[in-house]
Structure 1
Amino acid sequence: MIKNEKSKLTKLGILIFVLIYGCAKKKEENIQIENKINKETMLYNDNNDKIKSILIKQVDSGSDEVYGSFQDYNKDDLDALVIVAQSILKSSGYKIVDNKNFNDIVKKVFGRIIDDHSINEYLKIETFAENKCDKSLQYYPYTTDAQYLYVVKGKFITNFYPLPTIIDYLKLFPDVSKFEKEDIIIEDKIENVKTKASQWKDDLQYLAQTREKNIQILINRNKYLFNDNKASLVWLKFNDQEFLESLVKVFGYVQDKDLLKWVLDRSLKEDKSKEEEFYKILVTKTCDNKYIFHKEVFDIMSQADAKNKENYLNFLIGRIDLPKIEGLNFSEDTRIKALYCYYATKIDRNYMFSFFPKLNDEKFEEEFKRNNYYNIPDFKKLFEDTKNGGIGLPM
C-alpha cells in the first residue's frame, strides 16, 4: 500500500514538473519572440523617420506592377531597403566578411569587379542571360520584368524589395495604414474606363507569405555565398532553384562542386532541351566576347559513382553529337569541340573511342597543330590514339 502511494506521488511529481517546465518553456519562447520583435524595431530606431517616409510613399502608391505603382522608386527607396535588410541579416547571424574577400567573391561568382574608389554604393546585376552585360545602375524594385540583384558594396547582395514585402509594416508602423484607406483608381481616358489598382492591404495573408520567403532568400543567399553556410545551400536548393541555376548557367560559377553537380543533374532530368541546358553549363560567354570552357563539368562526371558515370556517358553519347554553341568562329568552335572530346574521353576507358573519331578530319587536326594542341601535354597522343578507334559521325 505504501509502495502504491509512493508511486502515485512520484508520478504526480513528474506530471507537475512537466507542466511547470512546459509552461516555463512556452513563456521563454514567447519572451524570445517578443524580444526579437523589439530588437527588430530597435534596429530601425535611428532610421525610423527615413524608413517611415519611404514606406508612406510606397503604401500610398500601391502594389500594382501594371498600373505604375513602382515607377517613382529611386535610390532613396533602395537605401531604406538596405537599412532593413542589414538589420535582418545581423539578427540572423550573418557575418560581413572583410572588403577584399567580399570583392573576390563577387568577382568569382558574378564576374563583376568592384571599384572601391567609385562613389556608387551599389552594383546592379542583371540575372537574365541576354542582359547580364548591362552594367548601368538603375533603381527599380523587384518585379516580374526587373529581377535585378543589387550588390551593397562590402556588405551583402539583395533584391530591391518594396518595404511592405520585407517588413510587417502594419505592426511596426500601424498608423501608415491610413495612407491606403482610399482605393487607387486608374482612369483610361482613351477607353473611357476606370480600374482599381491593387494595394498592399488587398491580400495580407499572401503578403505575409511573400515577406517570409523574401527574408529567407535574403538570409540564405548571403550566408551561402559569403559565409560558406552549407545549410543555406540546402535551403536554396529547395526554395530558390532559379537563383542557384543562374549562378552556373548565366554567370559561369562552377567552383562549388556540390552546386555544380546539383545543377548538372537537375538540368539533365528536366523536360526542356537537355542539350541546350547542358551547353549553358559547359560554356560561358563573357561580356568581352570570350568563351570559357568548364572542364569542371567533366571532373564531376569522372568522380561520380559507377551508376551515375554510366548515366552521364549515355547522355553524352546518346543525346548529343558535339557542342553546338551559337556565334563561334571556326577556331573557337574547334577549340570547344576539342576540349569536349578530350575531357569526355578521360571519363572512362571503356568509352575512350566514342569522342575523338567525330573530329577525325584534316581541318580539325590542322587547327589543333596551329594551337599547339591547346597546351595540354597528352592531348596530341590521346587524339592520335583514339581518332581512328571508332566510327565518326557525319559532319
Structure 2
Amino acid sequence: MLNNKLYICLFILVFNIINCQEKQKSNIVSNKKPHDKTIKIILEKQLKQGANHYIEEPGVEIPKKAFKLEELNVSMFLADSLLKSNGYKTPLQSDFNKNIKLKLKRIIDNNSDKRYLYVNFFDKCDRDFNYFPYNGVEYKGIYIDKNRKIISKFYYIPELIDYQKNYPKISKIENQISSHYTIDEESYTIELWKDLASRNDDYNLSKQRSFNQQLILSLNKYLFNDDPSQLAWLINNDEYFMESLVTTFGYTEDKKLLNWVMEKNYNQADDFIKNYVFVRNCQNKLEIRENILKYIEVNTNDKEYQYAKQLLNLSNRNDWKNFSDEEYYMILAYMANTFDPLSEKYSEVGMETHAKWTILGKEYHERKPEQWNQLIKEFRKNNYYGLPNLKHALKQAESYGDISLEVSQ
C-alpha cells in the first residue's frame, strides 16, 4: 500500500514538472528564420481553413480558430522581411526596450527565453498570451517580437504576400476545396482566400494586403525609428491604436499626437479628464499625466476652456472615490496648480452663474476650518508636490472668504 502511494506521488510530481516545462516552452521558438518548407506547410493549412466561415442561415460569420505559435513566427518573419526591404532601421536592443516601455508600458526581459509579448488594447495590465487573431471585438492587441525588434498584429500568410504568385502550386489546393459543408445538420460556407482576391470592393485581398504592409511599415518606423512623417497616415488609418497610445498607455511625449488626441476629445472633455489624466498604473499606483495638464495650461483661453472647466467640475472628493485620501490630495493639488492660475488670467475660466472660482478657492469656501487645515498640512508634508503654482493658489484661495468673488454685472 505504501509503495502504491509513493508511486502515485512520484507520478503526480513528474507530471506537474513536465506540464510546467511545456507551459514554459509555449511562446518559445527558434531564433532561426522559418524554412521555406515550413512556410509552405503553414500556407497550405491556412488555405484549407479558408479566409472566413459563415453559417448560411442567417449568414453569421464564425470566429476564427486559435493559431499556432509557428504561424505567428512566420507572420513576424514576413513582417520583418517587409520592414528590412523598405528602409526600416533595426534599433539597438536597449533603444527598442526603452521605446516599448515608454510607448506601450511593457518591460522586456532579455533574459527570458520567451520571444513574443502580447499587448492587450482592452486591458493594458493583462499579461496573458493570446493565440486568436485580431478581430476588434473579442481580441484587440499587438505582438512584440523581442528578437527581431518589431511589433505587428498577427496576419495570415495571404494577408501579407501574394501567395498565388509566390506559391502557385500550393495555391491550386483551393480549387479542390468545397466552399459548402454541413456539421450536425448546420450548413456552413467557406470564403476562400482566392475569393477575396477576386473581389472588386474594399475587401479585395490585394487592397487589404497593401494596407497591412503599410501599417506594419508606418507603425514600426514611427515607434522605433522616430519617423514623424508616418504620423499623419497612422492617424488617418489606425485611429484607435494611435489614440490608445495616449489614452490607454499614457504616451504623451509626442506633442503633435497629443494635440490631435486632445482636439479629437474636446467635446467629451469631462470623460477625458476623468478617465485619462489621473489613472492607476499596472502597479495600482496613482499616475498623473502631466503633459496633458501642460497642454490644458498652454491651450486654454477665454474661447477654448472646456478641459480647464472640467478640472473645476471634477475637483470634489466624490469624483475620485476609487482613490485614497492621500491620492485625492495629490490629484487636487495638480488640478489647482493648472487651473487656478488660468482662472486668474482669463475672465471666462472659472465662471459659474454669477460667481468666479478657483479650485482651491472653492475648497476654502466649502471646507470647515479643520478640513482646510488638514489640506494645507497634507500639501506641506509633501513639499507641495514640487508644483510651482500651488503656494500662490493657496494664498489666493483665502481671499474667497465665506462667499466667492462676485462678478460685476
The answer to whether the superposition gives a TM-score over 0.5 is: yes
* Amino acid in structure 2 at the alignment position of 1:55: L
The Cα offsets for residues 166-200 of structure 1, whole Å up to 9 and x where unpaired, read as 211112112222232223445342xx331213322
* Amino acid in structure 1 at the alignment position of 2:128: S
Tell me the TM-score normalised to structure 2 length.
0.75
* Amino acid in structure 2 at the alignment position of 1:268: Y
Tell me what 2:269 maps to: 274
1:55 aligns with 2:47: no
Q: Which of the numbers 298, 314, 337 marks the counterpart of 1:342?
A: 337
Q: 88-97 vs 347-356, which deviates more? A: 347-356
Q: CA deviation at 1:284?
A: 3.1
Tell me what 1:366 maps to: 374
1:90/1:345 Cα in 2 relative to 1: closer, same or farther (>3 Å)? Answer: same
Tell me what 1:201 maps to: 194
Distance 2:396 2:194 in 1: 70
Distance 1:381 1:141 in 2: 54
Q: Which of the numbers 397, 403, 409 marks the counterpart of 1:386?
A: 397
Q: Which runs of 5+ in 1 are unaligned?
A: 1-44
Distance 2:68 2:98 in 1: 28
The answer to whether the 8 A contact 1:301-1:347 is kept is: no
Provide the secondary structure at the position in 1 that maps to 2:305: helix
Tell me what 1:183 maps to: 178
* Amino acid in structure 2 at the alignment position of 1:355: I
The Cα offsets for residues 228-265 of structure 1, whole Å up to 9 and x where unpaired, read as 11110121121111111100110111111221111111
1:201/1:301 Cα in 2 relative to 1: closer, same or farther (>3 Å)? Answer: same
Tell me what 1:42 maps to: none
* Amino acid in structure 2 at the alignment position of 1:146: Y
Tell me what 1:300 maps to: 295
* Amino acid in structure 2 at the alignment position of 1:369: K
Distance 1:346 1:255 in 2: 24
Tell me what 1:143 maps to: 135
Alignment of 1:107-186 (within 5 A): 107-128=101-122, 131-144=123-136, 145-154=138-147, 155-181=149-175, 182-186=177-181
Distance 2:273 2:102 in 1: 21
Tell me what 2:252 maps to: 254
* Amino acid in structure 1 at the alignment position of 2:396: D
The answer to whether the 8 A contact 1:247-1:253 is kept is: yes
Provide the secondary structure at the position in 2 that maps to 1:242: helix
Q: Which of the numbers 217, 225, 228 marks the counterpart of 2:226?
A: 228
Provide the secondary structure at the position in 2 that maps to 1:124: strand
Provide the secondary structure at the position in 2 that maps to 1:108: helix
1:369/1:178 Cα in 2 relative to 1: closer, same or farther (>3 Å)? Answer: same
Percentage of pairs with the same residue: 28
Q: CA deviation at 1:60?
A: 0.9
1:380/1:119 Cα in 2 relative to 1: closer, same or farther (>3 Å)? Answer: same
* Amino acid in structure 2 at the alignment position of 1:344: F
Q: Which of the numbers 74, 81, 86 marks the counterpart of 2:75?
A: 81
Q: 205-214 vs 356-365, which deviates more? A: 356-365
Query: Matched residue pairs, number?
Result: 338
Tell me what 2:14 maps to: none
Tell me what 2:97 maps to: 103
Q: CA deviation at 1:210?
A: 1.5
Distance 1:197 1:277 in 2: 43
Q: Which of the numbers 87, 95, 99 marks the counterpart of 1:93?
A: 87
Tell me what 1:329 maps to: 324
Distance 2:119 2:372 in 1: 38
Q: 250-259 vs 332-341, which deviates more? A: 332-341
Tell me what 2:238 maps to: 240
Provide the secondary structure at the position in 1 that maps to 2:266: helix
Q: Which of the numbers 197, 213, 216 marks the counterpart of 2:214?
A: 216
1:319/1:328 Cα in 2 relative to 1: closer, same or farther (>3 Å)? Answer: closer
* Amino acid in structure 2 at the alignment position of 1:48: D
1:337/1:311 Cα in 2 relative to 1: closer, same or farther (>3 Å)? Answer: farther
The answer to whether the 8 A contact 1:368-1:374 is kept is: no
1:383/1:89 Cα in 2 relative to 1: closer, same or farther (>3 Å)? Answer: same
* Amino acid in structure 1 at the alignment position of 2:47: V
Tell me what 2:360 maps to: 356
* Amino acid in structure 2 at the alignment position of 1:141: P
Cα RMSD for the two superposed structures: 2.6
Distance 1:319 1:342 in 2: 11
The answer to whether the 8 A contact 2:333-2:390 is kept is: no
Q: CA deviation at 1:317?
A: 2.2
The answer to whether the 8 A contact 2:160-2:212 is kept is: yes
The answer to whether the 8 A contact 1:108-1:253 is kept is: yes
Distance 1:231 1:267 in 2: 23
Distance 1:312 1:133 in 2: 34
* Amino acid in structure 2 at the alignment position of 1:176: I
Q: 140-149 vs 248-257, which deviates more? A: 140-149
